[in-house]
Chain A
């Protein structure tokens, strides 16, 4: 089954404790992206990647890092989480050739709480 998976689905942590949220897709998509969802704000892009070793900032990149060492994986790293990073996070992917009209496929989400 074609899908985007994220782990963990739920995470409660404390301020300053480094964490990684994993994202993996099995559709051989070049483009991958991280969004955060906050009430009343919709989804905002954090980082994106056009292919292996190619990453760039989205609209709200502060406090986050990403890496793209393999095509299928795109982990999101919070090196020193703070309470304002409490949010619902989504990973998404899409092929670069536009064959799907730029539709993005979303993972199930990771609900992060930073205390």
Chain B
């Protein structure tokens, strides 16, 4: 069965520092992978998605993620954190070949220090 593990429920970085949020997945089929962001009191917004077209995926707000099949990872990065990046981030994988359900990780809250 498909699953997602996000390492670190909280990540704290200084403004201007590199952001790295980790996501490992388990999937029995070629995966569709997603990163969503949730700002306080808001819904989930798609940051980026992997659909097998390219292993390095660029998203909105300067975020990108690299799909590494050998490591079953899809880590999210941003070269320089802004205060406005403070939010909760969720990694998700499509549940299966015939499914539209998304399996979510437990989320990582990003704190950005001035």
Partner of A102, one of B32, B36, B106: B32
Number of chain B residues close to chain A: CB under 8 A: 23
Instruction: Count A-B contacts at CB 8 Å.
Output: 54
Chain A residues within 8 Å of chain B by Cβ, number: 25
- B43 CB contacts on chain A under 8 angstroms: 4, 90, 106-109
Q: A61 near B: Cβ within 8 Å?
A: no
**Contact at A40–B106, with CB atoms within 8 Å?**
yes
A2 contacts chain B at the CB level, 8 A cutoff: no
Residues of A18-42 at the interface with B, using a CB-CB cut-off of 8 Å, are 31, 33, 35, 40-42
Nearest CB in chain A: distance from B37 CB, A: 11
Residues of A within 8 A of B104 (CB): 35, 42-44
Query: How would residues 42 to 53 of chain A score, 1 for a CB under 8 Å from any chain B CB and 0 otherwise?
Result: 111100101000
Q: Is A115 an interface residue (CB 8 A)?
A: no
Question: Residue B9 at the A interface, CB < 8 A?
Answer: yes
The residues of A that contact B49 with a CB separation of less than 8 Å are: 101, 103
In the assembled complex, how far is the CB of residue B104 from the closest CB belonging to chain A, in whole angstroms? 4
Are A90 and B101 interface neighbours, CB within 8 A?
A: no
The answer to whether residues A108 and B101 also contact, given A40-B9, A41-B106, A101-B51 and a CB cut-off of 8 A, is no
Of A40, A92, A103, most B-chain CB atoms within 10 Å? A103
> Which chain B residues in 34-72 approach chain A with CB under 8 Å?
34, 36, 42-46, 49, 51
Query: How near does chain B come to A96, taking the closest CB pair, in angstroms?
Result: 7
Query: Chain B residues near A94 (CB, 8 Å)?
Result: 100
CB distance from B64 to the nearest CB of A (A): 17
Name which of B44, B49, B104 has the most chain A CB atoms within 10 A of its CB: B44
User: What 6 A-B pairs are tightest by C-beta distance, nearest first?
Assistant: A42-B104, A106-B44, A101-B51, A43-B104, A108-B43, A106-B43
Given A42-B90, A106-B36, A106-B45, 5 extra CB contacts under 8 A: A4-B43, A40-B106, A42-B107, A106-B44, A108-B42
